Amino acid sequence: MDVTGYLQRLGLEAEPPSLAALGRLHAAHVERVPYEALEVQLGRPTSLEPTASLARILRGRGGYCYHLNGAFSALLQALGYAVTRHLGGVQGAGGEPNVSRNHLALTVTGLPDDPSASWLVDAGLGDGIHEPLPLREGTYTQGPHTYRLRPSEVAPGGWRFDHDPSGSFVGFDFAPGPAEMADFAEKHAWLSTAPESGFVRVCALLRRDAAGVDTLRALTLDTHGVKEVLESPEAWWTAVGDVFGIPSALFTTDERDLLWRKAVAQHEAHAGSGALPSA
């Protein structure tokens, strides 16, 4: 675990565990490390190992929940935080609450500010929380979004996160006990390869900041609610670099061409439906 390199990627310096320090780490992570599955679009398998995820993050890339929360939890542990990984399940529109293991959730406990409190920490939701949430029932507002936390109805002893109505998913539940990265291997393989997987069906990138969310889905760029269709590969790759921080130089010419062609095909396939499928 290259803690120094990781912190440099986040633009931070090491400091003792505290609620304020945890908030800085969380905010910097969702602002600087994008939620993306470009490796899936390229047909390349990725490892669940946090060290492998970190290596990709240090190269200027991101990942989805297993990668982002896997690496982030390892960083928190290295910095002295008591962090637990949990089995989670994200539900899209029309989905039933469950713990399907399609999400890796994190909690942090034992902070010096309030040793008895627990905190929901999640850098792997794309358009999710900007800073940690206290793990107690209630409604919480961050920027333009309002969230709700409550006991889970499908995971006894676990919790339910209800997303803002404008979010890309309805919510997620997570189980109370600890999970290992290997517990997500089967679902990770499905999400990476199954034709039904949102990561396979749509090229999507997301980035959260205090004011809102930036999203690129196929050819549609949405920057804090302002939408435009990117009509050239130059414009598309400029957005990928300027908005989401992923340099085009990280990809070969063939890879850039393939990603552009896939984005065009996905946009055209769903142009008449008014919406692209969610990841």
Chain segment 77-136, per-residue pLDDT in tens? 999 999 999 999 999 888 889 999 999 999 999 999 999 999 999 999 999 999 999 999
**Domain count for the chain:** 1
68 within a domain of the structure (yes/no):
no
Q: What is the pLDDT of residue 1?
A: 84
Q: What is the pLDDT of residue 275?
A: 47
| pLDDT exceeds 80 at position 276 | no
Neighbouring residues of 15: CB distance < 8 A, sequence distance ≥ 6:
21
177 within a domain of the structure (yes/no):
no
Per-residue model confidence as pLDDT tens digits over 230-273 = 999 999 999 999 999 999 999 999 999 999 999 999 999 986 54
241 within a domain of the structure (yes/no):
yes
Neighbouring residues of 200: CB distance < 8 A, sequence distance ≥ 6:
40, 41, 191, 192, 193, 194
Mean pLDDT of the chain, nearest integer: 94
187 within a domain of the structure (yes/no):
no
How far apart, in whole angstroms, are the C-alpha atoms of residue 50 and residue 160? 25
How far apart, in whole angstroms, are the C-alpha atoms of residue 93 and residue 62? 25
pTM for the whole structure:
0.93
Name the residue range of residue 248's domain: 194-269
Higher pLDDT, 190 or 1: 190
Residue 252 sits in a domain whose CATH number is: 3.30.1120
206 within a domain of the structure (yes/no):
yes
Per-residue model confidence as pLDDT tens digits over 146-179 = 999 999 999 999 999 999 999 999 999 999 999 9
46 within a domain of the structure (yes/no):
no
136 within a domain of the structure (yes/no):
no
